[in-house]
Amino acid sequence: MWRNLPDVSKYMFTDHAISAEEHAAWFQRVTNDSSYKYWIIVCDGEDVGSIWLNDIDRRNLRCYWGFYIADPALRGKGAGSVAWHSVLNYVFEELRLNKLCGEVLAFNQVAANLHEHFGFVQEGCFRSHVCKGGTMQDVVCFGILRPEWEQRRPHIESRLRAKGLIA
């Protein structure tokens, strides 16, 4: 179970090891809840991570998201960027939402940089918001609006094409 891998769990908001039973119950819950969407990230035919939407709010036209690449050796190779691009298009084109929100543990500078690279704006900080390893951690809040993505998308697509990651 990827979620329990040390290089994944250290960036999650919870610390405990997730049991097979807890994982199965979670999977059953999100499979039957329309406010969640989950995908497996595939690279060269191998499952390498997960990306998801949660708290899809059609009344207020917003949702939250998260993602991870399970194997540290595969990070920075482009699979996450392609997944981000796909999900951003899905949120704004398919779901027709106005805003995508993300929350990142403040010490996770790589994730913060990725959000900013894709055009997200830092909207705030929840101070001492999550307990990790017995220490309270800040959580940085990011958001991107549909017009911001529409403006940023050509630049992102150009970079992904230049790297041979999208057609």
pLDDT of residue 101: 98
CA 57 centroid distance within chain: 17
List CB contacts of 30: < 8 A, sequence separation 6 or more: 36, 38, 54
pLDDT of residue 5: 76
pLDDT of residue 45: 87
Comparing CA positions, the residue from 52, 51, 50, 55 lying closest to residue 34 is 55
Q: Which CATH number fits domain 2-162: 3.40.50.150, 3.90.380.10, 3.40.50.970, 3.40.630.30?
A: 3.40.630.30
CB of 83 closer than 8 Å to CB of 48: no
pLDDT of residue 23: 80
pLDDT of residue 4: 72
Using 70 as the pLDDT threshold, list the residues of the chain that sit under it: none
Cα–Cα distances in Å, from 122 out to 27, 33, 62, 98, 144? 30, 29, 16, 16, 9
pLDDT tens per residue across span 94-125: 999 999 999 999 999 999 999 999 999 999 99
